[in-house]
Amino acid sequence: MPVPVLGIMTLYLNDRKYLEEKPVYQKMIIEGRKLGLDVYVFTPMDVSEKKQRIYAMEYEPKKGGWTRKWRQFPDMIYDRCRIQQSVRFDQLLRFRRRYSHLTFLNRPLRNKWTIYEVLSKRTEFSPYLPETHLFNSFTDVHHMLKKTPVVFLKPINGTGGRGILRIERMKDPSYYYIQGRNQQRKIITPQKIHTSRLGPFLNSWKMKDRYLVQQGIHVELPDKRVHDYRMLVQKDREGVWQLTGIAGRVGAPGSVTSNLHGGGRAVSFGEMLDKWIEDEESRGQISKKVERLGVSVASYLENQYDALCELALDLAINKKGDIYLLEVNPKPAREVFSQIGDPELYRKAIVRPLEYAAGLYARKNAATK
């Protein structure tokens, strides 16, 4: 039987062809060989439609370096492309349309607002969803702040904590306290702002139809840092959804997000939950609930859209033990498990998509025969 070929498709981050996750791809190539997979990396920019070949990136463990080689199209494609405003993203959209007949391990999901709408139609998910609306005007924020003391404004296509604002209703009803990060992930200077200035301030961020207004959940630790949980669910070799792992994330001082790229740090799930929820029985119930939630959400979204092989769910848990699904990430990083000092869990997070690819190829090959 021929060796199955898996192409990891990603995007360069700039014109110098920088790849953000190259060390991870290196590990995937090495682990793929152990599973009998031939793995290479490419971007849509590397595809020659004239030659019907791909100028692929290959890693040679013995030489400890990367090389380039013209390759045929792979048997399967593992799409790791994240949204960016660039010509490179336009090339990706064209590639997906032109080669939609190829076997993809995972198809793109929609934006955060659409995913929220889809999930909110299921009564089983409703208790886990913080109240969320599409931002149209300051009125949406004003109405939410009447119900809850804290509101978050998030880009519908944002990643890594970019462009997020936190607005808190102060004891003096004439003022709000604003914190956040700009589009470069930098923490903006917190400010106290009068009610009359909030509308113009939000207009300067050009949010209309591009932002969500979301109920804030109390997740501040005693040292005032925020925290949440990153849960990774992936398909196993047989194509069955499984919980791979959960880790806590603690934000940098003064940050409204816990993202690791924004200066946050990773903490093991057990350690984080022990500090946050005192009752042992409650912690056990929470652990069971989040696992069921992750697997159920992944299965449901795949039925609604198309092929998926992994999802990350960002969760907030308040002091009462209520669980909230903040957002779903279809292109998850897995470094959080490396940072909590669990090399076996980190390896599992890297290997599971490869195992699924190997199993998928075997099933397709058997069906063809």
pLDDT tens digits, one per residue of 86-101: 999 999 999 999 999 9
Residue 315 has pLDDT above 70, yes or no: yes
In the prediction, which pLDDT does 189 show? Answer: 86
pLDDT tens, 230-267?
A: 999 999 999 999 999 999 999 988 888 888 877 889 99
SS3 content of the chain, % helix, strand, coil (to 5): 35, 30, 40
Mean pLDDT (the chain, rounded)? 93
Integer angstrom CA distances of residue 281 from 92, 118, 218, 286, 316: 48, 32, 21, 9, 19
The first and second tokens of residue 224, run together, are 């005032």
Q: Where are the alpha helices (DSSP H) in the chain?
A: 22-34, 87-98, 112-120, 138-147, 195-203, 269-276, 280-304, 335-339, 343-368
Q: What percent of the chain has pLDDT over 70?
A: 98
204 pLDDT above the threshold of 90: no
- DSSP character at residue 137: S
**3-class SS string, 198-220:** HHHHHHCCCCCCCEEEEECCCCE
Which of 305, 138, 303, 146 has its CA nearest to residue 215? 146
Higher pLDDT, 73 or 259: 73
* Stated pTM of the model: 0.93
In total, the chain counts a number of residues equal to 369
- Residue 1 is predicted with a pLDDT of 64
- Closest to 309 measured CA to CA, from 317, 319, 301, 318: 301
* Out of 35-49, 108-122, 200-214, least confident range: 200-214
Cα three-residue angle 20-77-359, rounded to 5 degrees: 115
| Structure-token pair, residue 104 | 């993809």
> Which of 5-19, 145-159, 289-303 has the weakest average pLDDT?
145-159
Q: pLDDT digits over 131-185, tens only?
A: 999 998 888 998 999 999 999 999 998 776 678 899 999 988 889 999 988 877 7
Share of residues in the chain with pLDDT > 90 (%)? 76
CA–chain centroid gap for 147, Å, is: 28
Please choose, from the candidates 251, 262, 366, the residue with its C-alpha nearest in 3D space to the C-alpha of residue 316: 251
Please report which confidence band the pLDDT of residue 62 belongs to, taking 50, 70 and 90 as the band edges: confident
pLDDT of residue 311: 97
pLDDT (mean) for 329-347: 94
Express each pLDDT in 21-31 by its tens digit: 999 999 999 99
Q: State the Cα–Cα distance between residues 181 and 30, nearest whole angstrom.
A: 37
pLDDT of residue 320: 93
Identify which of 107-111, 234-238, 275-279 has the greatest average pLDDT.
234-238
β-strand pairing of 165-169 with 241-250: unpaired
Give residue 160's pLDDT.
65
How far apart CA 165 and CA 97 sit, in angstroms, is: 35
- Residue 328: strand pairing partners: 313
